[in-house]
């Protein structure tokens, strides 16, 4: 992995983390196209820069994170399913992360769902986070777990989950952003611990790894700051159909490339 690859992956992460198109899926495909081998550090890098992007939420919605203790209780309840299932299924998830074909199929299936989601859930009754109940937060947390399959999109899964529980598009999107903070913070700490436990690095290797993690996180953070507001505005005006079409086309292209070239086949 070199600095150019770090910058490219960080930009892609910042742009796609909050869109319902799967940032992880895009990084899996981009890594394969750039010939980046899926070693322990690359897997760690992809998780850590996601946290960098997620921290943009804390900056943009700073006041929400200091509003009430009930806000944090909802986030804790919402993240419980991911903590439990993530711990139980980690080895299987790591295997799926190496498969561009899994990403492509998830792109297409998720895209088809996004074509109809605005019509399915068009009568919201919950317009703001304060009106979300603990039970609703838990249900959205279970929807978020679908994103453990690369290509599903954590954002798409939790937003659709929110809309299924009568949240408006904006309320569902914002709660998805909030829920991402503890989810990705926990995932990053776990991966850092596992990486440190199973890898012995020289001083030079450690220096390069830390440098790449910092550069990637900062770039993802800055790009995400610009992307979040644009996404909310677009979502309010246009809905999800364009993202659905994008996912379907991207998924079909990836499937064709997978079966006609060696570029997307992992070692």
Q: Is the dihedral of CA 179, 183, 185, 186 positive or negative?
A: positive
In this prediction, residue 164 carries a pLDDT of 92
10 within a domain of the structure (yes/no): yes
- For the chain, strand residue ranges (E) read none
In this prediction, residue 267 carries a pLDDT of 43
266 within a domain of the structure (yes/no): no
234 within a domain of the structure (yes/no): yes
In this prediction, residue 95 carries a pLDDT of 61
In this prediction, residue 68 carries a pLDDT of 82
Q: What is the pLDDT of residues 105-157, one digit of tens each?
A: 889 999 999 999 888 988 888 888 888 999 999 999 999 888 888 888 888 89
Pairwise CA distance, residues 22 & 16, whole Å: 6
267 within a domain of the structure (yes/no): no
Q: Which two tokens stand for residue 155?
A: 């954002």
Structural domain for 143, as ranges: 3-260
265 within a domain of the structure (yes/no): no
Identify the segments of the chain with pLDDT beneath 50: 267
pTM over 0.75: yes
Task: Give me the number of domains the chain comprises.
Answer: 1
């Amino acid at each position: 992995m070199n600095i150019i690859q770090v910058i490219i992956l960080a930009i892609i992460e910042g742009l796609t983390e909050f869109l319902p198109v799967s940032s992880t899926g895009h990084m899996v495909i981009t890594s394969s196209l750039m010939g980046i081998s899926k070693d322990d550090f690359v897997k760690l890098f992809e998780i850590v820069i996601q946290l960098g992007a997620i921290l943009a939420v804390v900056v943009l919605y700073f006041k929400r994170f200091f509003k009430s203790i009930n806000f944090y209780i909802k986030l804790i309840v919402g993240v419980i399913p991911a903590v439990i299932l993530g711990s139980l299924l980690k080895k299987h998830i790591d295997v799926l992360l190496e498969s561009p074909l899994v990403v492509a199929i998830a792109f297409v299936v998720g895209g088809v769902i996004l074509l109809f989601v605005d019509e399915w859930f068009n009568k919201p009754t919950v317009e703001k986070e304060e009106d979300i109940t603990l039970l609703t937060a838990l249900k959205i947390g279970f929807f978020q777990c679908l994103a453990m399959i690369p290509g599903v999109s954590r954002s798409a899964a939790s937003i659709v989950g929110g809309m299924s529980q009568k949240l408006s598009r904006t309320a569902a999107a914002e709660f998805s952003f909030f829920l991402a903070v503890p989810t990705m913070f926990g995932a990053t700490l776990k991966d850092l611990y596992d990486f440190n436990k199973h890898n012995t690095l020289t001083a030079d290797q450690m220096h390069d790894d830390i440098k790449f993690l910092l550069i990637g996180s900062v770039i993802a953070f800055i790009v995400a700051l610009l992307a979040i507001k644009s996404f909310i505005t677009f979502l309010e005006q246009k809905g999800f159909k364009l993202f659905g079409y994008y996912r379907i086309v991207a998924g079909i292209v990836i499937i064709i490339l997978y079966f006609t070239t060696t570029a997307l086949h992992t070692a």
